[in-house]
Structure 1
């Protein structure tokens, strides 16, 4: 009886020592992340020093090389792993000046992969696609665009976002504006349909007819915010102009004032360039061939500097690795981070990693991905893994309550079929989870816009995300066994059973069609 008692006391003491040691690591994670945060300096180096990271651009390559050196400076092994090739393109200056009926520099920029203006730029009248009867009438009108700039976006009836109307307008005025806006968009879409040209084909038809360039305006429903995507022209520049300046040009052209602009949009084609993922790792001490992964895409659109999409996810994961190297340098399992290339064109970097490393997929304990902006983590889904509640619940329970108290969870949830890089791993059966964050007006103001810049980062929130992710990675590393991968049959929106997402191959040679 005495021996059994002493044995029991010994077990309790052992477990108590282990729990205390575990809590000390967690305490050290919190302390390092809060007292010695490198987030601001990492963010400055990436967003301000290197800038946006359009796939195929020199800045994307600079970012990959910088990240490897940064990890190595922290004593963390890192490498760039090629997965494909892309059309190389380098952005230059964009100057847009209205010269008639009066002089004003306009707010705008060329779209990604846009052809350049002639050296020094070119002057031309600005015209609108008229409301023509049909495709035949459009073809008859086409020769008139030679030597002119053509506006192809609908004008906006207001530059005020809806929340501003809701705050100040009468209910009647707000409703009237929305009705007018709906009718304007309907009429504009009908106007474009009558040309017989699709969204991609229309700019090409105009440039083939001799247009000097294409003018667009893709308002993002926020003050000063426009989305900046890619050009469809092959020979002449395509520029996006701010809602305010686009509206002014449109009204001048519509009223017969014949506005003229001088556009100088310079860019450079750089041929076919390699594309990479940046991979860094802290080798496991007991189970080096089992992995806990961090995940964030490295590329961005280039209207701003890619700060919240996905600079914040990038610097968060880099900081998690730095903190863990400091306080947990000999993890039980290998900690791996993937900074993926070309997520914006279809999850290409992460899909390539999954396809190129099939032997690893069954050995990934868990993956944590962050992508959707600067806010603190607000939602976690079990992604259809039946037992995710059990282990994610235990791991999250170790995170300070002030960080997790407002996190909404859904278990087991449904598997993500796309949207961000965790979906590439979910399709391969890996327990991969999105640490989805609060909006901070992400979709209106920073997602793919000209305003996605360093000043929009909320560092307190990102710091909390670092603490949460670092603790969950630590707990996943220390888990005695591999977690369950049992999956439930996903349900569609109608509640009917559907299929688990299938793995998809990446585009390994992109942008050259």
Structure 2
């Protein structure tokens, strides 16, 4: 039966009223800081601010490689957004960052089955000769296997590390394989190799290669380094089953151009009674240049900025200052994070706790800490209200996130708000890191968790130091 527009309207009003009543009833179950935390959750889940910020960043700025022109555009964007949102303080701090230009990258099998391969240069790689680099490949299952190889077998060849990254909710597969990307070129060069290609550090089956930073070592030859898409790595394996000799040609033109000045962009909600004590929530503003930097780390920028805005707009500010830090140049070596720790060395004893959002936009399911073991149970009780947002209590082995990972060694407590990263490494560091990979509702759940966490920490009376030793 077709209902009249008036009937539909009254029905919607009734449902809305019932929903408001249920929300108010839920809020009345809590008092004090817990009631504020529930209110922050409800506001976050009903807000699109974080998604709007990520959309703005990825559309109006796009990819923003550290040291590039777009990097400074992103800094200007961040300063304007934070000021427009009304934070008590907005400022920027200079960071010296390496400048690396990707150039072009192509590869092909030249023998025995000529065909193109999909590759991307690894961040920081040197170029091949202009005429390209052609050599037989030698395959290794892992970086460890390469290190154990006979140098005579490797000399003059292009090393192929074929280590598959396993899919895990926690993303732990990445930590197992990423050494091949970051340290493989050095290990290969020490054995006499002339180049290296790795199976992309990713969990997808798309014909897209995953970039990411690699390192050279003083006194060891700098050889070109690239990543293959997973299907192309599979293709090389099938060729090696058919032939003892597979020859590839690499052509890459990346260049390094010294250093440039970028900035950590910082916003603050000034604490009401302990303004000199700091609860830090951060993300990194830079991205790789292949996609638009939506999940890595536009999502984090949106999450912590929107969380800070919710706290900024509270009728009564929390006791401690909540500091939102958008770090520079995380992708090329945690440069912004290291600079922040150095520049703020004199006030690190005033940092109550720190956390960073840098694992995409999957829902947060657990809250881990790294604090004084004796206070952990009380801290878990303090944050138990976050269970209403799907966040369970965790353990005491948090690292806090890349840009704050150096702070525990300097005595600063940290927390890790664990996100579901099941599909994160499908898109990580690829052209596929784009806005459509973000689910707005999941992003809002993250904002709720960070807002609750930051507020409760800013109000906490617990003594979190000295922190637990690293395990």
State the TM-score, normalized to the length of structure 2.
Answer: 0.71
- Say whether residues 1:389 and 2:359 are aligned partners: no
Match of residue 50, structure 2, among 39, 56, 77:
39
CA distance in 2, matches of 1:428, 1:80: 23
Alpha-carbon distance change, 364 to 104 in structure 1, aligned in 2, over 3 angstroms: same
CA drift of 1:113 comes to 2.2
SS at the partner of 2:451? Answer: helix
Distance 1:300 1:368 in 2: 19
Partners of 1:219 and 1:242 within 8 A in 2: no
Q: Of 62, 65, 83, which residue of structure 2 is paired with 1:72? A: 83
Please list every run of 5 or more consecutive structure 2 residues that lacks an aligned counterpart in the other structure: 1-27, 141-148, 169-179
Q: Give, in angstroms, the shift of residue 107 of structure 1.
A: 2.3
After TM superposition, give the deviation of residue 251 of structure 1 in Å. 5.4
**Which residue does the alignment assign to 2:447?**
466
Which residue of 2 is the match for residue 409 of structure 1?
394
- Which residue does 2:94 correspond to in 1? 82
Partner of 1:464: helix, strand, or coil? Answer: helix
CA contact (8 A) 2:327 2:337 kept: yes
Q: Are 1:252 and 1:259, in contact at CA under 8 Å, matched by a contact in 2?
A: no
Aligned residues: 415
Q: What is the TM-score with the length of structure 1 in the denominator?
A: 0.66
Partner in structure 2 of residue 127 of structure 1: 136
Q: Is the 8 A contact 1:113 1:231 kept in 2?
A: yes
Query: Offset at 1:153?
Result: 0.7
Q: Judge conservation of contact 1:396–1:468 (CA < 8 Å) in 2.
A: no
Q: CA RMSD in A?
A: 4.3
Q: 1:357 aligns with which of 344, 356, 361?
A: 344
SS in 2 for 1:440: coil
Would the aligned equivalents of 2:311 and 2:317 in 1 still touch at CA under 8 Å? no
Q: Which residue of 2 aligns with 1:229?
A: 212
* 2:203–2:423 Cα contact (<8 Å) kept: no
Deviation track 1:243-293 (CA, whole Å, cap 9, x = no partner) reads 3234445655864897776x6644443322135322111223443222222
Q: 1:47 to 1:136 in 2, by over 3 A?
A: same
Unaligned runs of 5+ in 1: 1-16, 143-149, 164-188, 190-196, 491-499, 503-513
Correspondence for 2:328 among 331, 341, 357: 341
| Partner of residue 257, structure 2 | 270
- 2: CA distance, partners of 1:198 / 1:160: 15
Work out whether 1:485 is the aligned partner of 2:464: yes
Q: 2:160 aligns with which of 153, 158, 164?
A: 153
Query: Structure 1's 123 and 357: CA in aligned 2 closer, same or farther, altered over 3 A?
Result: closer
Q: 2: CA distance between counterparts of 1:268 and 1:124?
A: 16
Shift of 1:48: 4.8
- Cα gap change, 1:360/1:227 in structure 2, threshold over 3 Å: closer, same or farther? same
Aligned to 1:13: none
Q: Deviations over 1:174-199 (max 9, x none)?
A: xxxxxxxxxxxxxxx9xxxxxxx974
Specify the alignment match of 2:200 in structure 1. Answer: 218
| 1:339-381 deviation per Cα after TM superposition (whole angstroms, max 9, x unaligned) | 2334456654334323332342333333333333322222223
Give secondary structure in 2 for the equivalent of 1:424: coil
Cα distance in 2 for residues equivalent to 1:228 and 1:63: 21
Measured against aligned partners, the alpha-carbon deviations of 1:428-483 in whole angstroms (never above 9, x if no partner) come to: 333321111223233x524555654433333322211211221232333345xx43
Distance in structure 2 (CA, Å) of the matches to 1:432 and 1:343: 18
Aligned-partner SS, 1:270 = strand
Q: CA deviation at 1:425?
A: 3.1
| Partner residue, 1:202 | 188
Query: 2:282 is matched with which residue?
Result: 295
Q: For 2:324 and 2:75, locate their aligned partners in 1 and report how far apart those are by CA, in whole Å.
A: 13
